[in-house]
Amino acid sequence: MTMRRVKIFSLFERFWHWAQMALIMVLLFSGFGLHGFHHLIGFETAVTLHTLSALLLLLLWAFGTFWLFTTRSWRHFIPTLSGMWKVFHFYSFGIFKGEHHPYRKAYWRKHNPLQALAYLMLKIVLFPLIWITGLIYLFYFLWRDMPHASEWLTGLAYVHTGAAYAILVFVLVHIYMLTTGHSFKEHLMPMINGFDDVDLTPEEEAYLLKDEPENIR
């Protein structure tokens, strides 16, 4: 295996990442405003901002899901038990002892086993939960005449808010992880220019040098 600098994040992936981050920040800001945690914007403005950002994020997720399956990039998010314990042990103990990260990126797998599991849960559990509850809440006027509608609405709000807090925890952990191991800049640059250090087999290196020389350094 040879360590080379390879473009593993496409332009769309980087746009998707930063656009998603920006919209989630707006949703959290407006959501906290709706719950009265701050009064930087009015309630009606918060509702409008929250709704528009949610619809834009839903549209982005739809395009992202289409991209994942058409490019077969979904394979990077399938977790594996191989190496899972080593990565878990590193983040729990080894990182505080100055140990080296046990996982090295491969051309065919961008994320370590723990990352893949976390991203998969985010994509198939938290994201669907937040937008399904949000859409049902948004269209309350269509089912408000049903028996016990107000009670269902209250329960729905709790589930939606709980999922939002879980996403906030994910964001905070994600930001914290940027401060560990390599420098903040080294962690951040792959999502800016797309290039990261990757272990390549001789065949992968030969293919990139011959057919995609612009994607290897």
133: exposed, middle or buried (Cβ count in 10 Å: 0-12, 13-18, 19+): buried
Contact 2, 205 (CB under 8 A): yes
Contact 214, 14 (CB under 8 A): no
Task: Identify any residues that bridge with 199 across adjacent strands, giving them in sequence order.
Answer: 3, 106
Beta strands in the chain (DSSP E): 2-7, 195-200
Write the DSSP string, 182-202: S-HHHHHTHHHH-EEEEEE-H
Q: What is the model's pLDDT at position 181? A: 67
> What digits encode the pLDDT tens for the residues 135-160?
999 999 899 899 989 999 999 999 99
pLDDT at 100 over 90: no
- pLDDT (tens digit, 9 = 90+) per residue, 44-67? 999 999 999 999 999 999 999 899
Spatial distance between the Cα atoms of 11 and 123, rounded to a whole number of angstroms? 20
Walk me through the domains of the chain, giving residue ranges and CATH numbers.
2-215 (1.20.950.20)
